[in-house]
Amino acid sequence: MAKYQRYEIKDNKLTRKNRSCPRCGDGVFLAEHKDRFSCGACGYTEWKKKTNKTE
């Protein structure tokens, strides 16, 4: 994904679509996987919470 695709313009303001890495700062985005968010630069990982679908 190109860098320009990670941003969007809303109400004349530039906003980020993806989350930023808390270790690396605002310039590095977290990649979104099926079960986690991960940083390619430092290796930081946040696991997504599992949802129990008992219906």
Handedness of CA 51, 7, 30, 24 (dihedral sign): negative
**What phi and psi values does residue 22 have, to the nearest 5 degrees?**
-70, -25
- pTM here is 0.69
Do residues 15 and 9 touch, judged by C-beta distance below 8 A? yes
Q: In 3-state terms, what secondary structure has residue 22?
A: coil
Q: Tens of pLDDT along 1-55? A: 777 788 899 999 998 888 999 999 988 999 999 999 999 999 999 999 877 766 5
As a whole number of angstroms, the longest Cα–Cα distance in the chain is: 43
